[in-house]
Amino acid sequence: MFNTTLCYLEQDGNYLMLHRIKKEHDINHDKWIGVGGKFEEGESPEECALREVKEETGLTMHSWNYRGIVTFVSDQYEAESMHLFTSSDFSGNLIDCDEGVLEWVPIGQIPSLPLWTGDRIFFRLLRENRPFFSLKLQYEGDTLVYAALDGTVIPCSPDF
């Protein structure tokens, strides 16, 4: 299992979303996600989030909220432990991202974008301002087949 971060920057009721269209053989191809990536050796979750946000967006986070841990299990890919952050306290100017196109998207419009099913679940938890959570998502191919929130099985739907 490897560790990653995912961060949603918020400004004026919008999240900064990354439309993953630039990399070949990308598990997230044509999906909309936040910014983040794999830990480097010795990094903490916060250090990884700060570095990845800066590298992918050009923006510097000054404060952030550590919202939860999402465990991804797949029949096709290595398991992943993703550390989820949000921030509305950042500065700088957006740069071009080599992984896709960055766009500010109204939070209410995000569910209509091409997303992973499990992402819809944690977006709901973020909207509800749920305290720190642990979410396990298990996929077979692109299909979410199992979800558990804080150790309790939930429906594989964002509307549970």
22-61 pLDDT, tens digit per residue, is 777 767 777 899 999 999 999 999 999 999 999 999 999 9
Answer whether residue 9 shows pLDDT above 80.
yes
Q: CA-to-CA distance for 141 and 61, rounded, in angstroms?
A: 34
pLDDT given at position 83 = 98
DSSP state letter for 39: P
Six-digit token pair at 119? 């992402």
Q: Which helix (H) or strand (E) holds 154?
A: strand 152-154
Cβ-proximal residues to 124 (8 Å cutoff; 6+ apart), any chain: 158, 159
* Band (130; pLDDT cuts 50, 70, 90): very high
Q: Please, are residues 2 and 78 in contact by the beta-carbon 8 Å criterion?
A: yes
DSSP state letter for 43: -
pLDDT given at position 26 = 67
pLDDT given at position 110 = 93
List the end-to-end C-alpha distance of the chain, in Å, as a whole number: 27
What is the SS3 assignment for 73-130? EECCCCCEEEEEEEEEEEECCCCCECCEEEEEEEHHHHHHCCCCHHHHHHHHHHHCCC
Six-digit token pair at 75? 């029949």
For the residues 82-101, what does the mean pLDDT come to?
Answer: 96
pLDDT given at position 27 = 75
Q: CA-to-CA distance for 123 and 142, rounded, in angstroms?
A: 18
